[in-house]
Amino acid sequence: MNVEELKKVLGTEFSFIFDKINPILQYLDISRNAKILDIGTGKGRMAIILAFNGYKVLTGEPESDNSEYAKQNWLDDAKKVQLDNLITFKAFNAEKMPFEDNLFDAIFIQGALHHIDDKGSTFNECIRTIKKDGVICILEPSRNGIKIIRRHNPSHPDAVDPRDFSGESPVEIKKGDMFDAFIYRHVKIEH
């Protein structure tokens, strides 16, 4: 399936998100055999974009999350575009993940950090579970993105700046009209 077919099957909203996120993914240039974690499945957009690019993805959100953002029917969309075989779902809490240290090559949090209560613990868990030369990419809505989201959902929470929770970790920021990407590379410090 090519990009245009993918967009046609998944619709305008997915196409819009794809066009904003896929260039960031291409920029990151992550190895195709990377172990990738997607925190906050939601509608599965990030997981599907990653799978479309040939990555096997582990995605999840808390079993206890009953918000309107959790437990979306992402699997049907993944099946429609025949990418469900590359996506594995596991319920987990981002603030205390059930994964071993240094497991993932890349961790993505797309539009979810502002929904997590303990953002500092979540970032620390990302640091714990990322490999030495891994990348953490946190995509948060920009000011314009929040305005657009609030047209459909007036009570949507404000976006957060991950730098407020990431301590001294060096970050590269890619500003976008809908999302800002906060990219942390080489986050392990050898003692």
Burial state string for 162-191 with b = 16 or more CB within 10 A and e = fewer than 16: beebbeebebeeeebebbbbbbbeebeeee
For residue 146, the domain's CATH number is 3.40.50.150
DSSP state, 115? Answer: G
In a domain, 190, yes or no: no
Q: Which of 46, 14, 63 is nearest to 111 (CA)?
A: 46
Structure tokens at 15: 């196409």
Q: How many domains does the chain have?
A: 1
CA distance 67 to 115: 10
Output the tens digit of pLDDT for each of the chain's 191 residues.
Answer: 899 999 999 988 888 889 999 999 999 999 999 999 999 988 889 999 999 999 999 999 877 655 555 566 788 889 999 999 999 999 899 999 999 999 999 999 998 888 888 888 999 999 999 998 899 999 998 888 778 777 887 877 778 888 888 877 888 999 988 899 999 986 555 43
Domain coverage including residue 86: 3-185
- For residue 61, being part of any structural domain is answered with yes
